[in-house]
Chains A and B, each alone.
Chain A
Amino acid sequence: MADRKTPGLAGAVAGIALAAGGAAFASFLAQRHKDGDDNAPLYTRKRPGTDNPIVGRTVTIRKPRAELYEYWKDFGNLARFMENLQTIRKDGDAHIWTIKAPAGQTVEVRTEVVQDVANETIAWRSLEGSDIETNGEVTFTDAPGDRGTRVSLVMFYNPPAGELGRAIAKLFQREPEVQARHDLKRFKMLMETGEIATSAHTEDATRRAKQQETGR
């Protein structure tokens, strides 16, 4: 396990692309569609009134709401499409996330589910004593007609090393917004096609590309 002061850790903190700052996140969730003049999600505002970046993304997946919810609810599945996530295992009511960090390191985060409404939403936050703090919420709503389900992933992000943490994260190309977008699109691919698209031409190239992406 990495020391929480190392740059490697900061990179990983950003890498998981999940949020910190429980209270602020909760208030964000409560206000996101009320506070403002327009109907756009808060995270698309040009000037969010906070230093804490709010990360959010929506994809439409041509699968029933229940199927997507069930897949996500089994947290062990998340490592299949979140590329910096090595494993998630259950520990009582909590989940322990093992996250890949640069230079072959890993960090661990204990999370608890704070909200779980069947076929609608799952929210989680990190517990005290974790290497990093995270907060996230995924919601599932019906898309019009037979378009399937709209899946929104919203995260509140408060990098532990402040701006420096984000700068380091950028260096590792793990800007949380990009990571969140990529992870959600991989989820979509997996659900709609049963696989995650790659243009790698050989197994070796696949391995090399993965190593490059995870900075190891």
Chain B
Amino acid sequence: MRALTWHGTHDVRVDTVDDPEIINPRDAILKITSTAICGSDLHLYDGVIPGVVPGDVLGHEFMGEVVETGAESTLKKGQRVVVPFTISCGGCFHCQIKQYSACENSNPVEKQDMSATLYGHPMSALFGYSHLTGGYSGGQAEYVRVPFSDVGPIVIPDHLEDEKVLFLSDILPTGWMGAENAEIQPDDTVAVWGCGPVGLFAIQSAIVMGASKVIAIDHYPHRLELAKKLGAEVIDFRKTDVRDALMEMSGGIGCDAVIDAVGMESHGFAIDNMIDIAKQKIGIGADRASALKQAILAVRPGGRVSIPGVYGGMTDKFPLGALMEKGLQVRSGQTHVQRYTKDLLEKIEDGTLDTTFLISHRLPLEDAARGYKCFREKQDSWTKVILKPGMEQGQTA
């Protein structure tokens, strides 16, 4: 089959690789109908996530048609399903308390040691996202092997087209959980750093959850425009002093909750960020966390900090004093996708949530490398890229 494979920093290619096979009884094989490039794929593309091996098939946002099932799979051939990017067994302690991204059984034993060393514990496996999280082949491919197919995949009714439901795999529940972790109350002023797909979904979710005011922070005009259309007020951090503005816009109190939807490769001109960029370049890999640092200073005392943005390692010059002295609550984590898929599918069906507004480009799978390059370099206009294995080359919608 054809699949997008990682070969090194800024080097991804569509190669011919072996077709996946059923290995374990609970597996299923999908024929991919739609898959997307995630902002977090850019961390792999930029080479800042450890444990990626040349030849790895990337992609953790995908859906498709069931074409093969293992003996214990509950799926049926021909069903259309969306697959959560977190691979979870459903039977361990963490799955039982719905902390699916901490599943104890999906990350293969021999792969657990590295993340256990780095984080103290191994985490659940993820599709197509380095060997720290299992080394499973991803879904930017014609076919994919889906383990524990009786737990994760959600069957999609025929009348909902791919583009409406594809993002149930990651960014929609990730944005939703980002807002949920901010414990939004009706009178709250909520600030969201980053108007990429996760930030935009967090903004939409925060508004659905009843926030009185949502303020979006970015510097790409088109992305700020999308945030504005959702009902957010916006701040361009290149033009405005963000903390000053947030204090004023929250009546001098500060934001009740802040959401970092940027993660480890944040932009910005703070001096510590420059040092962090230099460190990442020479491979001593401190996470750039300027958005998070700013958010911690901007949130009101006793406020809530939610971090859906991805971090992988350590960070320097962290405002720990502000965190403690102001008595902040911090919640974070890879999304417990399986916890949200059913409810969010209903919210898509009844029109509460719109998932298609951020799609900017649709490309054939064969053009995936170009998709990565443009998604990274033209972030203003390339807000979300969908790859279609069936689509003919040269066709761009």
- Best-buried of A178, A186, A201, A213 by chain B (most CB within 10 Å): A201
Is B113 within 8 A of A201, CB to CB?
A: no
Q: Does A206 contact B (CB under 8 A)?
A: yes
Taken residue by residue from 187 to 216, chain A's Cβ proximity to chain B (1 for < 8 Å, 0 otherwise) reads as 011001111111111111110000001000
Q: Which residues of A contact B24 (CB under 8 A)?
A: 195-198
Q: Does A130 contact B (CB under 8 A)?
A: no
A213 to B110, CA, bound (A): 9
Q: Does A147 contact B (CB under 8 A)?
A: yes
Q: Does B125 contact A (CB under 8 A)?
A: yes
Is B18 within 8 A of A197, CB to CB?
A: no
Is B147 within 8 A of A197, CB to CB?
A: yes
Taken residue by residue from 163 to 195, chain A's Cβ proximity to chain B (1 for < 8 Å, 0 otherwise) reads as 000000000000000100010011011001111
Is A201 within 8 A of B109, CB to CB?
A: no
Known contacts A199-B125, A201-B137, A204-B18: A62-B23 contact under CB 8 Å: no
Closest B residue to A186 using CB positions: B109
Q: Does B37 contact A (CB under 8 A)?
A: no
Is A197 within 8 A of B93, CB to CB?
A: no
Contact residues, A57-71 vs B (CB, 8 A): 60, 62
Is A182 within 8 A of B109, CB to CB?
A: yes
Is B135 within 8 A of A199, CB to CB?
A: yes
A199 to B51, CA, bound (A): 14
Q: How large is the interface on A (under 10, 10 to 19, 20 to 34, 35 or more residues)?
A: 20 to 34
A206 to B27, CA, bound (A): 14
Q: Does B92 contact A (CB under 8 A)?
A: yes
Is B105 within 8 A of A62, CB to CB?
A: no
A60 to B145, CA, bound (A): 28
Q: Which residues of A contact B89 (CB under 8 A)?
A: 189, 192-193, 197
Closest B residue to A81 using CB positions: B109
Is B113 within 8 A of A178, CB to CB?
A: yes
Give which listed residue, B21, B25, B57, B106, contacts A197 with CB less than 8 A. B106
Is B135 within 8 A of A195, CB to CB?
A: no
Q: Which residues of B contact A186 (CB under 8 A)?
A: 109
Q: Does B26 contact A (CB under 8 A)?
A: yes
Q: Does B225 contact A (CB under 8 A)?
A: no
Is A194 within 8 A of B25, CB to CB?
A: yes
Is B137 within 8 A of A194, CB to CB?
A: no
Known contacts A62-B96, A198-B108: A193-B91 contact under CB 8 Å: yes
Question: 15 A-B residue contacts at CB 8 Å?
Answer: A62-B92, A188-B105, A189-B89, A194-B72, A195-B24, A196-B24, A197-B106, A197-B107, A197-B147, A198-B24, A199-B111, A201-B18, A202-B19, A202-B21, A204-B18
Shortest 7 CB-CB distances between A and B: which pairs? A195-B24, A199-B136, A192-B91, A199-B135, A193-B89, A182-B109, A185-B109
Chain B residues within CB distance 8 Å of chain A: 17-21, 23-26, 57, 72, 89-93, 96, 104-113, 125, 131, 134-137, 145, 147-148
